[in-house]
Copies of this chain bind each other. A is one copy, B any other.
């Protein structure tokens, strides 16, 4: 079958060039007579891949020397626990800004570890349709850190600028929008991202951390969960997920080849503009519940007049090769995830289908 137009929310579509490169050298990488998966994580062939992946992340995001790039396991769900385990002292509290389901999960895990202050919860009425303004945040100047979720895959909302947290470290779950555009990494104490949306396959977690923050982390937790362990060992303390790291390398190389993050931003804005215009220009047939200014350029959510029409829309779109459009089971509706690897042509095809369907 020809490749479909894949709007999956994550694991998501990957650049074809990254996949084809992997397929072509699947049994024999670099003339070594074996798959990258069969190489020791401490051997030269894999180490070159590992270090190139890190170097490409550093280059694309212009990561400053103050910060370290880590390649870990366990996804954002594990970071929900290890962030407070490392940085939330027994006599402290951490600020959490709640903008969607994933923020709530981060709060739940943090509460098991220590004391949490909800600096803002925009979904108190049960619906997450916006990002809060700076003045709404009840930030504690003595907080251990402030935690935000930069993009909300289920709600379809996204922070377009980040809050000012003064001298308190800002920690961000960027699982679903990291590298959608250039970023000032220096503003963050720690950034984490499950790879499976914008940058690679599942099974790999990218962490970018301020080394000064790491040095102040707790030392009474298992070594495997201390960020300092992984900073000190270039993420080779234990066996890394070598194939997912290899795929990250391939995706980063493809992003660089395509013009880097400035090019990603330009294309992502064009895709989102096209799709939101089609929704807003449909005389109310398609409706996006998210407020203007808070709308995600990664996950575009919208509704049709009835759930029955939504199910019919998804079925007919699938028949045309537009797949993965069903909204999250908790909210229903339609969701088009248009990460970096989704080309403009797919969004054009979706918009064309939406007009036809209406």
Contacts and interface: CB of A to CB of B under 8 A. Distances in A.
Interface in A230-249: 237-244, 247
A264 to B, nearest CB: 18
A203 interface: yes
A contacts with B: majority SS: loop
A220 B112 CA distance: 7
Contacts of A240: 202-203
Interface string A92-114: 00000000000000001100110
Q: Which size class do A's interface residues fall under?
A: 35 or more
A59 interface: no
A146 interface: no
A204 to B, nearest CB: 7
B244 A243 contact: yes
27 contacts: A1-B28, A3-B33, A10-B239, A11-B38, A11-B39, A11-B40, A11-B242, A13-B38, A14-B38, A33-B321, A40-B324, A73-B74, A73-B241, A74-B224, A76-B238, A81-B222, A112-B220, A112-B221, A113-B222, A194-B239, A201-B242, A201-B243, A202-B241, A203-B204, A241-B241, A243-B247, A244-B244
A75 interface: yes
Contacts of A194: 239
A242 B203 contact: yes
Nearest to A76: B238
Copies of this subunit? 2
A223 interface: yes
Interface in A57-96: 73-78, 80-81, 85
B12 A38 contact: yes
A109 B224 contact: yes
Given A27-B23, A81-B225, A203 B73 contact: yes
Given A1-B33, A4-B34, A19-B37, 16 more contacts: A4-B33, A8-B40, A8-B43, A11-B37, A12-B38, A16-B27, A23-B23, A34-B323, A74-B74, A77-B239, A81-B225, A109-B222, A112-B220, A202-B239, A203-B204, A203-B240
Nearest to A229: B77
A202 to B, nearest CB: 5
A223 B23 contact: no
A308 to B, nearest CB: 22
Contacts of A41: 11, 202
A158 interface: no
